[in-house]
Chains A and B, each alone.
Chain A
Amino acid sequence: MKILYYPGCTLKTSAKNFEESAIASAKTMDIELIELTRWNCCGTVFSLTSDDLIHHVAPIRNLIRVQEMNKQGLVKGEFRLVTLCAMCYNTLKRSNLRVKENPEDLEKINNLMYLEEDYEVKVEVIHFLKLLEDMGFEKVNEKVKNPLKNLKIAPYYGCMLLRPKEVGIDDPEDPTIQEELLEKLGAEVINNPFKKVCCGSYQTVQDKNIVVDLSYSILTRAQKEGAEAITTSCPLCAFNLDNRQKEVKEKYPHFKEIPVFYFTQLMSIAFGLDKKYCRFDLNYIDPEPLIKSKGLL
């Protein structure tokens, strides 16, 4: 199956470990993620201000590229656009919804982008997790060569995959989509009651202490439940939960570091793919010792 794919800037830079493991895992499942031939910033944050249309230009411009690729014959009648980054997913999905519900806004945005063809509101933005769910997690299970036996994983969601509920990929109060995937990969899923607690998001720039405290409570709670590692689908959550463990350790010396995976890295391991696709060099806390201790590498 060929499906169009929007990476976003972080997956091309500090989250290469997310992109490379996702593309390889998708390939194992006979999904060819075709990157948009031309794309720009997703818009990063969905603008809530009612008259702030300029911040919807970036996401809508990307959706026009899907139309273009169909017209160029690069795909046929394929208007789904897959994202991996939870931030990109949220922004693209919500802007798409906004212009769908507000034709006047769309007209203004189209007029501003008069050099582009008009957006026809045909695109469906879809998260990779949702794509897998729609195909059936059984299909994932069929490809597992290396079940993640005895690996105790606590999924973490953050906000962007779940809220607001109009765009969420799962129940915003009690999501289970990652749990279902991880179970099919053979992992032992640990319930983390803090799986939706805010990671601190962009406060990491303004005041990293806020993030240090939030990460500390999220991670230690997961550990208390027995987790050996965390999974996420958001590069910003990953930064706050993984890289900020440096500051967590400084502030709380008794803290014990815990690896943070992108869920696709665990798919790659379970599918028995070459370790190179995991790009563990980009994880702050090295997950390899844990993986090796379980005999998975």
Chain B
Amino acid sequence: MEEEKNKRLDPQEVMERIAAASKPMVAGVEDKDVEYWVTIYIMGRAYKVPADLTILTAMEYAGYKFIRGCGCRQGFCGGCSTVYRKKGEYKLQSGMACQTRVEDGMYLVQIPFVPAEKASYDINKEEYNVSTMFKYYPELARCVSCNTCTKACPQKLEVMDYVQAAIKGDFKAVAELSFDCIQCGLCALRCPAELVQYDIAQLVRRMYGRYGSGKEPEHLLKRIKEIEEGKFNQEMDKITSLTREDLEKLYAEREREPD
């Protein structure tokens, strides 16, 4: 067991495996060309998959077709949350399926949606202070600073710190600490106090943007001006006048990064 663990960490071999796996799997490499295999358990059922796929592509290899819970495939959209445990480990782990490589003996399940009561508000009518937070998210006060949210965050954000900053009304800190949030919802799923951290942070960022930052949204104003001046009209007209077939062809041939 120990030997096998050391063997897996050999950098030369890891590089070879990555090179082997980087052959485009979905584009029809045959199984005989794949050198390394692992067994993963998708919702309890075992599948043998090429060792260097991500969880997302491994599930597709196993025959799953995603119509929900799969968006950008680049780790930005937060759509493909996964929860997994590795064989022989007590820790429940989580990550984005498109960003996490499969490992032998992984038990996993996709979480395509996180139930959350998202507050509805008109940002122009809200007071810029902490009582607005407690009006919409009174459960904020239940935070026990256990830090479970931070451990769950695939973006490695200091989630607990931004929740605490929200409680003390430090909206600048919340906006900065939560800026890279991809709204995957894993924090909210793991929170023992049942907070919905990412929605809380979103309200703060909107309030901070509206009242606190003291900055004009320079790029947005520039883009609005461009739209009003008709910069994109020609391109839009071109697309909207295409036939369905031509549109599909355009989509299939679009510039994209490999999965």
Q: Which residue of chain A has its CB nearest to the CB of B133?
A: A13
The tally of residues in A whose CB lies under 8 Å from a CB in B reads 18
Please list the 6 inter-chain residue pairs (A to B) with the smallest Cβ-Cβ separation, ordered nearest first: A58-B145, A40-B164, A40-B145, A12-B168, A9-B168, A13-B169
Whether A58 contacts B161 by the Cβ 8 Å rule is no
Residues of B at under 8 Å CB distance from A?
129-130, 141, 143-147, 150-151, 160-161, 164, 167-170, 192
Chain B residue contacts of A57, Cβ below 8 A? 144-146
Q: How far is the CA of A44 from the CA of B141 in the complex (A)?
A: 9
For residue A54, CB closer than 8 A to chain B, the reply is yes
A94 within 8 A of B: no
Tell whether, in the assembled complex, residue B151 and residue A115 are in contact, meaning their CB atoms are under 8 Å apart.
yes
21 contacting pairs across A/B (C-beta < 8 A): A9-B167, A9-B168, A12-B168, A12-B170, A13-B168, A13-B169, A38-B161, A40-B143, A40-B160, A41-B143, A41-B144, A43-B144, A43-B145, A44-B141, A55-B144, A57-B144, A58-B144, A58-B145, A112-B146, A113-B147, A115-B150
Closest B residue to A47 using CB positions: B144
A61 on the interface (CB 8 Å rule)? yes
Contacts of A41 in B (CB 8 A): 143-145, 164, 167
Chain B residues with CB under 8 Å of A39's CB are 164
Q: Which of B141, B145, B147, B167 has the most CB of A within 10 A?
A: B145
Query: In the complex, what residue of chain B is closest to A115 when comparing beta carbons?
Result: B147
| Cβ distance B149 to chain A, nearest Cβ, rounded Å | 12
Q: A15-43: which have CB < 8 Å to B?
A: 38-41, 43
Task: Please indicate the chain B residues that have their CB under 8 angstroms from the CB of A38 in the complex.
Answer: 161
Q: Once the chains are docked, how many angstroms separate the CA of A41 from the CA of B170?
A: 13
Q: From B141, B150, B169, give the contact of A12 (CB < 8 A).
A: B169
CB distance from B6 to the nearest CB of A (A): 25
- Seed contacts A43-B145, A57-B145, A58-B144; 18 additional CB < 8 Å A-B pairs: A7-B168, A9-B168, A9-B169, A12-B168, A12-B170, A13-B129, A13-B130, A40-B160, A41-B144, A43-B144, A54-B144, A54-B146, A57-B144, A58-B145, A61-B145, A113-B147, A115-B147, A115-B151
Give the residue name and chain of the B residue nearest to A116 (CB).
B147
Query: Inside 8 A of B164's CB, which chain A residues have their CB?
Result: 39-41
Q: Once bound together, how far apart are the Cα atoms of A58 and B151, in whole Å? A: 16
CB distance from B145 to the nearest CB of A (A): 4
Chain B residues with Cβ below 8 Å from A43 are: 144-145
- Note all chain A residues with C-beta closer than 8 A to B129: 13
Chain A 46-60 interface 0/1 with B at a Cβ cutoff of 8 Å (1 = within): 000000001101100
CB B223 to nearest CB in A, in angstroms, measures 36
Q: Hey, which chain A residues are within 8 Å of B151, CB to CB?
A: 115
The residue in chain A whose Cβ has the minimal distance to the Cβ of B143 is: A41
Determine the chain B residues whose CB is within 8 A of the CB of A40 once the complex forms: 143, 145, 160-161, 164
CB distance from B15 to the nearest CB of A (A): 31
What A residues does B160 contact at CB under 8 A?
40
- Report the bound CA distance from A43 to B146 in whole Å: 11
A163 to B210, CA, bound (A): 44
Cα-based distance from A58 to B167 in the complex (angstroms)? 14
Within the assembled complex, what's the spacing in Å between the Cα atoms of A13 and B143?
A: 18
- Which residues does chain A contribute within 8 Å of B167, judged by CB atoms? 9, 41
User: Which of A12, A40, A44, A58 has the most chain B CB atoms closer than 10 A to its own CB?
Assistant: A40
**Distance in Å: Cβ of A239 to nearest Cβ of chain B:** 13
Q: Which residue of A lies closest to B160 (CB)?
A: A40
State which residues 61-81 of A face B: CB under 8 Å. Answer: 61
Contacts of B147 in A (CB 8 A): 61, 113, 115
Give CA–CA (A55, B142) in the complex, Å. Answer: 10
Instruction: For residue A193, give the distance in angstroms from its CB to the closest CB of chain B.
Output: 34
CB neighbours (8 Å) of B150 from chain A are: 115
List chain A residues, Cβ under 8 A from B192.
54
Residue on B with the closest CB to A112?
A: B146
Chain A residues whose C-beta falls within 8 Å of the C-beta of B168 in the assembled complex = 7, 9, 12-13
Nearest residue in A to B193 (C-beta to C-beta)? A54
Chain B residues, CB < 8 A from A58: 144-145
Give A112 to B169 CA distance when docked, in angstroms: 27
When distances are taken between beta carbons in the complex, the residues of chain B under 8 Å from A12 are 168-170
Q: Which residues of A contact B161 (CB under 8 A)?
A: 38, 40
Alpha-carbon separation in the docked complex, A112 to B164 (Å): 19
- Which chain B residues border A9 with CB–CB below 8 Å? 130, 167-169
In the complex, chain A residues 199-247 whose Cβ is within 8 Å of any chain B Cβ: none
- Chain A's nearest CB lies how many Å from the CB of B95? 17
Closest chain-A Cβ to B104's Cβ sits at a distance in Å of: 25
Which chain A residue shows the least CB distance to B130? Answer: A13
Give the shortest distance, in Å, between A118 (CB) and chain B (any CB): 15
- Distance of A12 Cα from B144 Cα, bound (Å): 19
**A142–B170 CA distance with the chains assembled, in angstroms:** 36
- Among B151, B164, B170, B192, chain A packs the most CB atoms within 10 A around the CB of B164
A7 to B147, CA, bound (A): 20
| A44: chain B residues within 8 A (beta carbon) | 141
Q: In the assembled complex, how far is the CB of residue A205 from the closest CB belonging to chain B, in whole angstroms?
A: 10
What CA separation (Å) do A271 and B175 show in the bound complex?
Answer: 38
Chain A residues whose CB sits within 8 angstroms of the CB of B170 once the complex forms = 12
